[in-house]
Structure 1
């Protein structure tokens, strides 16, 4: 498979080129946002409690409204939903920037603006995921998802660094302003993209569409089984890796070392995307779950006796495996879920995968205080590996194959 005809083939379609450019700028803004917002909050109230309140104000509406976002994307059209979401985010973040720069920002201002952005995110994610199959033929879906995944991995490293540099040089208000600009540019880049409007056989209520999405979710064995697994896996990652990781690092490899480990993981995500541009997978969920199981290794290393070079290597390999799952999961969804229900399916996926994250964050601290950091991290690594193996034990997950490729669409 050549780069021209395989890995980069989706970029030959002008619609996908514009979509890809829009997504790259959108993702840049999305990865900048948490850092810019965090330092804007801390400039007003230098406390972890205040920061937690504002971050929660953003995440709670996202989780609560994900299902509604999927319904809206399927009903009114994904391109329009993404543009409105980008526009709302640009205006709200621009407002936050103006308040911070002029010195008029208060904590409640940023909390309300964060809630508005979280609401926009709830519609953006399912719309974006559902739009890819409308832009490329099925034979190019893996390449398209791999291109997007590679960009996402790179921006996970570049975005926060950009925001931090802006905070240090010109202040958090201007970091928010640049963030707002990225969303406005992303909106403009999507204007040339034309896709057919949604086709609806009969007028239905939002409640009917939600029930239809739920019926699809619970009736598709591989879908609910993987989402259930990730509800637990993400809770472990949020609790053990992201919550206990920093204090464990301070006792062992140091804060700088922990930064190197996180950077190695981000580089692994990029490498995983590049691999998926070149290697075609036949059973996306089997390959994906095997890939995601690799995260148990650095989690175990962190719990036992962290050695920086080994932990960085483990994090890199885990990043490769995580991106293997990301592309495989997108393929499984996009090839096996009806196009008119795809955004709803992604919204149920996102809701199920995120719902237990706060539990992991809350439970793991008291547990570590009782048992100690090391035993909890080792136990988390073991539980993580067992969940992955149990999911692979499902025949529906293990044997799901790629759908037959269709003839390529004409280049536009």
Structure 2
């Protein structure tokens, strides 16, 4: 554990995060419009997104591995594999003009599998890089700078897709993964390992079970994945219809890219607020405020689905997302002992992510049949319900404190 927020590993970690988010924003726009241009169907885009998310069902097992393996080398291997897949898809699109949907969806599944380790491992690494007193600021910096890079990547991606088409943006994303892998080689992370009773390694499924028992000790940790499942299930259709909606409104890729860029600006603003406030605002209160902002934003977009209103709402929407996600990272770092962070983060990610592919598969047959703005209304109701559940949970939980551990080997 370092005694300072600013050290070589933290700076390199920030640089790696920035360039990775830039490349992923490029690819996000490019892949959406590659499928849209080939199929003219929001349903097909929804299915491709669902394929990329299906591997998250394996996240709990990966989380247990995160808590017993060294963090650095699996992260680097994941980046190399994802970079290779993106270069293959982008190169095929550049050479052939069109890529078969089975190849795009297959690459989406493999990319999802390769990326399983990065979420829980990245989250578990932060407390090892900075002192506990700086966790809120570190998470704020990571969230703000990451979304700043996402903003630039979104604007660049929209411009590249409009001017030269999707393949070039996908190729640039592939290269960004190799850059991140190189940067991570310079980061110093501690050796990690989970020991069971008697000092020996426990079975993988036993470690998954112990992670669930840790979560069961806190009402907030029980409610968090339920709320995330509800929210992500409602947001999945919105993610799928936005590119088509902007094309219908005459905005093309540029309008969609501007929406994502404004949303990113809001997330950056939230990160700056968290950095400025430090520990002076409770994470649970900020999360409740974020849920309220996102519910109001979607309600406005549902009522007035016009380009100017959508773009204005995107900024407030991003602020709400930032006030949910960054404080939630800090809250988990405060509640969960370090040896269990990988399992808890992965369990939360799996449960919340399941909502997206299931929702996309269920709604894809009617996604193009119903009025596109209707899905904003669904998201507004879900965000509002999530806010009510969250406020109830934190009010009935009482004083939050680190979960006491006596589960390993029980």
Same fold (TM over 0.5): yes
The answer to whether the aligner puts 1:205 opposite 2:198 as a matched pair is no
Residue 84 of structure 1 corresponds to which residue in structure 2?
Answer: 77
The answer to whether the aligner puts 1:234 opposite 2:232 as a matched pair is yes
Q: 2: CA distance between counterparts of 1:246 and 1:38?
A: 7
Most deviating of 229-238 and 376-385: 376-385
Alignment of structure 1 residues 127-146 onto 2, 5 Å? 127-146=121-140
Q: 2: CA distance between counterparts of 1:309 and 1:174?
A: 29
Residue 301 of structure 2 corresponds to which residue in structure 1?
Answer: 302
TM-aligned CA distance change 1:178 to 1:244, over 3 Å: closer
TM-score for the superposition, normalised by structure 2: 0.82
The answer to whether the aligner puts 1:192 opposite 2:191 as a matched pair is no
Q: 2: CA distance between counterparts of 1:308 and 1:175?
A: 25
TM-aligned CA distance change 1:192 to 1:245, over 3 Å: closer
TM-aligned CA distance change 1:334 to 1:47, over 3 Å: same
Once the two structures are TM-superposed, the CA of residue 252 in structure 1 deviates from its matched residue by 8.0
TM-aligned CA distance change 1:147 to 1:317, over 3 Å: same
Residue 326 of structure 1 corresponds to which residue in structure 2?
Answer: 325
Q: 2: CA distance between counterparts of 1:134 and 1:393?
A: 32
The answer to whether the aligner puts 1:112 opposite 2:106 as a matched pair is yes
Look up the SS of the partner of 2:272 in the other structure: helix
TM-aligned CA distance change 1:270 to 1:23, over 3 Å: same
Alignment of structure 1 residues 154-173 onto 2, 5 Å? 154-173=148-167
Most deviating of 152-161 and 394-403: 394-403
Alignment of structure 1 residues 204-353 onto 2, 5 Å? 204-239=202-237, 241-242=238-239, 261-280=259-278, 281-306=280-305, 312-353=311-352
Residue 61 of structure 2 corresponds to which residue in structure 1?
Answer: 68
Look up the SS of the partner of 1:84 in the other structure: helix
TM-aligned CA distance change 1:253 to 1:266, over 3 Å: farther
Q: 2: CA distance between counterparts of 1:174 and 1:257?
A: 19
Q: 1: CA distance between counterparts of 2:164 and 2:375?
A: 41
Residue 118 of structure 2 corresponds to which residue in structure 1?
Answer: 124
Once the two structures are TM-superposed, the CA of residue 396 in structure 1 deviates from its matched residue by 6.1
Q: Which has the higher contact order (CA 8 A, sep 6+)?
A: 2
String of CA shifts for 1:175-222, please: whole Å, max 9, x gaps.
332211111110111112112211333212221121112222233311
Most deviating of 379-388 and 146-155: 379-388
Q: Pick from 128, 142, 146: which aligns with 1:148?
A: 142
Kept after mapping to 2: 8 A contact 1:282/1:401 = no
Aligned residues: 390
String of CA shifts for 1:35-69, please: whole Å, max 9, x gaps.
333455567x44536655544332212x2222222
Kept after mapping to 2: 8 A contact 1:19/1:190 = yes
Once the two structures are TM-superposed, the CA of residue 34 in structure 1 deviates from its matched residue by 2.5
String of CA shifts for 1:346-396, please: whole Å, max 9, x gaps.
1111112122224444349859968x7777755653453233023201246
Gaps of at least 5 residues in structure 1 are 1-8, 404-412
Gaps of at least 5 residues in structure 2 are 403-410
Once the two structures are TM-superposed, the CA of residue 31 in structure 1 deviates from its matched residue by 1.9
